[in-house]
Structure 1
Amino acid sequence: MANTILGTTLICQVAIVVRDVEKATRRFAELLKVPEPTIIMANDDGSDTVTYRGESTQGRVRLSFFNLENTVLEFIEPTEDPSTWKEFLETNGPGVHHIAFKAKDRMMETAAKLEEFGFPLIQNGDKYAYVDSVDDLGVIIELLDID
């Protein structure tokens, strides 16, 4: 299925924006009866170059990842930094923010194709890009520059 605009049909991650990542992580771990994953502060050191709606931002965010059998579930708690996560939480409240597809070595090329398709780039960092597909699909699409 590599001839799709995305280059794949495999969803590798589903992400949920929450107000309290500790609570969400703890409760999901209790639900699955698995150990709680570590909660990290992404980009606290500013090493990732993050652009949100065309403007530079530190793009810090608190995250936890559950590596499930068929996908990765990510919980995201926004910080005060301008970001798509903060905008989502303020506008919609907690909920599914994005579904992710691997776009190894072709992330921005794929983002450009999606922009031509009508899904403009919202935010990107060194290894990820979000495109606005909400009006058509009800969710943001993320492209991950990972294997």
Structure 2
Amino acid sequence: MQKPIFKNLLQVGIVVDDLDKYLKKYYDEYGIGPWVILDFNKDTVKNMTIKGKRVDYAMRLATCDFNGIQWELIQPLDDKCVYYDFLKTNGPGIHHVALGIDNYDDVVKFLADKGIHELQGGNYMGLQYTYFDLTDELALIGEIYNGEVVMPEDAPTYPPKC
């Protein structure tokens, strides 16, 4: 039996068509939050790629801790990112899960050896993130990280800080 390549579940990524509407619903009606809101675009993310090619894309997202698992709501802001295609095809819903790993390069090589290559990626404030289409293998889109992200102290929140 293969040693597990993935260690644990880190995040559930949900694509939405209106981030503000969903933030209010999650927090005000279901008590899930508070949320930190971030803009990912060519000014905040370095080395943006889609299927291995350099492409600038934009999205607005919010994250919160929900019992030790990060929840992420993502609103695409253009038609270039994988979230736009997902939203157009499926409507709002669960897009991906982020999985913990021991070694980023080892996992990338393991997947490449299976013929699975990057779907989308970038580097946000020192955190390299990469999505892989594992639909044929595991029936999911998986995301892995290399590094740690430090949330900007001045990032907007929902509910807003007083």
- Per the TM superposition, whether the score is higher than 0.5 is yes
C-alpha separation in 1, matches of 2:98 and 2:45 = 22
Structure 1 unaligned blocks of 5 or more: none
Query: What TM-score comes out, normalization by structure 2 length?
Result: 0.76
Match of 1:5 in 2: 5
Are 1:26 and 1:36, in contact at CA under 8 Å, matched by a contact in 2? no
1:120 to 117, 122, 129: 117
The alpha-carbon deviation at position 15 of structure 1 amounts to 0.4
Matched, 1:79 2:112: no
Which range moved further: 46-55 or 92-101? 46-55
Paired letter, 1:31: E
In terms of fraction of residues, the more strand-rich structure is 2
Query: Which of 13, 26, 29 is the equivalent residue of 1:28?
Result: 26
SS in 1 for 2:46: coil
8 Å CA contact 1:107, 1:128 repeated in 2: no
Shifted more, 107-116 versus 69-78: the winner is: 107-116
- 2:133 alignment partner in structure 1: 132
Provide the identity percentage. 28
SS in 1 for 2:78: coil
Q: 2-side partners of 1:72 and 1:47: how far apart?
A: 20
Counterparts in 2 of 1:38-53, with a 5 A limit? 38-53=36-51
- Give the alignment's TM-score, normalised by structure 1: 0.83
Q: Larger radius of gyration, structure 1 or 2?
A: 2
Q: Any idea what SS the aligned residue of 2:36 has?
A: coil
Q: Distance in 2 between matches of 1:58 and 1:114?
A: 24
Displacement of 1:32: 3.5
How many Å separate the matches in 2 of 1:87 and 1:108? Answer: 28
**What is the distance in 2 between the residues matched to 1:35 and 1:95?**
18
User: Distance between the aligned counterparts of 1:74 and 1:118, measured in 2?
Assistant: 28
Extract unaligned runs of 5+ from structure 2.
149-162
**Cα distance change on mapping 1:99 and 1:34 into 2, 3 Å:** closer
User: AA paired with 2:91?
Assistant: G
Letter in 1 for 2:131: Y
Checking the alignment, whether the CA contact within 8 Å between 1:111 and 1:129 is kept in structure 2 is no
Aligned residues: 143
In 1, Cα distance between equivalents of 2:10 and 2:32: 20
